[in-house]
Amino acid sequence: MTPETLNFFDKVYEVARQIPYGRVTSYGAIANFLGAKHGARMVGYAMNGSHNKDVPAHRVVNRKGLLTGKHHFQGTNLMQQLLENEGLEVVENQIQNFDKVFWDPIQLL
């Protein structure tokens, strides 16, 4: 675990916290925003340790709007419930109107 990796983890959490209410983004978008050469996979891996942080990990999905990380949440459909609670429409672990609720961290600049 290099210092750069730790910094990367913190950056991921920092970006994730900036995701607006009712919006979502993808692992790749975050990776691209951070210029992460480790790739989107590491973003997902970073989220693995986001449990005891104030990170809305449920707003981060894969590029198709699929809730690939729902099994990392407590219960079976907690992630979906959280998203629906924010006014999002989720069917079969997939976010509906994904292109409309998608939020690219690049817009933060």
Interacting residue ranges for DNA, rule: CB under 7 A: 1, 5, 26-29, 31, 37-45, 47-48, 50-51, 57-58, 60, 62-64, 68-69, 71-73
Q: Retrieve residue 36's tokens.
A: 């992460």
Q: Give the whole-angstrom CA distance, residue 89 versus residue 108.
A: 24
Which of 20, 104 has the CB closer to DNA?
104
Quick one: 31 or 90, whose CB is closer to DNA?
Answer: 31
The number of angstroms, rounded, from the C-alpha of 31 to the middle of its chain's C-alpha atoms is 11
Question: CA 43, CA 10: separation in Å to the nearest integer?
Answer: 11
> Which is nearer to DNA, 4 or 20 (by Cβ)?
4
